[in-house]
Amino acid sequence: RTIGDRIGEAKASGNLGNTLKILGQFDEAVVCCQRHLDISQEQGDKVGEARALYNIGNVYHAKGKHLSWNMAQDPGYLTQEVKETLQKASEYYERNLSLVKELGDRAAQGRAYGNLGNTQYLLGNFSEAIAFHKERLAIAKEFGDKAAERRAYSNLGNAHIFLGRFDISAEYYKKTLQLSRQLKDQAVEAQACYSLGNTYTLLQDYERAIEYHLKHLVIAQELGDR
């Protein structure tokens, strides 16, 4: 501010916002991120503006998750405050998405789609969540980003469960399992086995359910995860 560096001030405000978000001071975080947005717009800095929109989305997303943890309910069964907070997150992610499309930034589009999928899932809009996660999946494949691809499969599996499409969920969870093995991520592998066990229980294929739950158990024991 002393040297009149507006872009520097914008970035510093954004960093403050992100730090306050991590500290759980969501309302103060929004103020700082909004300052980042205002200055970026004033300076015609499209990249900064996109980043600020994404960050504000993140703050509302984190606040929504934080508020809903206290209730531990299924997606879609939310208080008015949580619903409004997640809707705000969604609106900022949408604005970010249209701007990064304009900028031709595919990687940023992938991130926006993933977060839109997650907020719509929490809001109980499972069909919308699926559409966003499919977009996320396509971009992850484009970049050869196996970790993002794995997350997308996992999220697609979860959303299909709530639509009662258990067989489709099982296919997505199998892809999650395959990728977690490729990535040598045992904790995620265990989680995928757990999801498959539950899905096959819902499909009333108990033999297979037992098979996957046993795999889950073995990894949990290997990792010493009580």
Query: Residues 117-135: pLDDT tens digits?
Result: 999 999 999 999 999 999 9
Q: How far apart (Å, rounded) are the C-alpha atoms in residues 226 and 218?
A: 12
- Report the pLDDT averaged over residues 176-184: 96
**Structure confidence at residue 21 (pLDDT):** 97
**Alpha-helix runs per DSSP H in the chain:** 6-22, 26-42, 46-69, 80-102, 106-122, 126-143, 146-162, 166-182, 186-202, 206-222
Give percent above pLDDT 70 in the chain. Answer: 98
| Residue 72 pLDDT > 70 | no
Mean pLDDT of the chain: 96
**Structure confidence at residue 73 (pLDDT):** 65
pLDDT in tens, 21-37: 999 999 999 999 999 99
**Structure confidence at residue 126 (pLDDT):** 97
Half-sphere exposure of 186 (CA within 13 A, CB side): 10
Q: How far apart (Å, rounded) are the C-alpha atoms in residues 34 and 32?
A: 5
Q: How far apart (Å, rounded) are the C-alpha atoms in residues 49 and 83?
A: 25
- Report the pLDDT averaged over residues 78-87: 94
Report the 10 Å Cβ neighbour count for 165. Answer: 16
Which residue has 């993002």 as its token pair?
148
Q: Indicate the Cα dihedral angle 169, 59, 179, 69, nearest 10°.
A: -50
- Report the pLDDT averaged over residues 33-56: 97
pLDDT in tens, 136-157: 999 999 999 999 999 999 999 9
What is the set of domains in the chain, with CATH numbers? 1-143 (1.25.40.10), 145-225 (1.25.40.10)
Q: How far apart (Å, rounded) are the C-alpha atoms in residues 32 and 178?
A: 41
| Residue 78 pLDDT > 90 | no
What are the CA-CA distances from residue 225 to residues 82, 97, 174, 209, 218 (Å)? 32, 38, 22, 21, 10
* 8 A C-beta contact, residue 132 and residue 94: no
- Report the pLDDT averaged over residues 182-202: 97
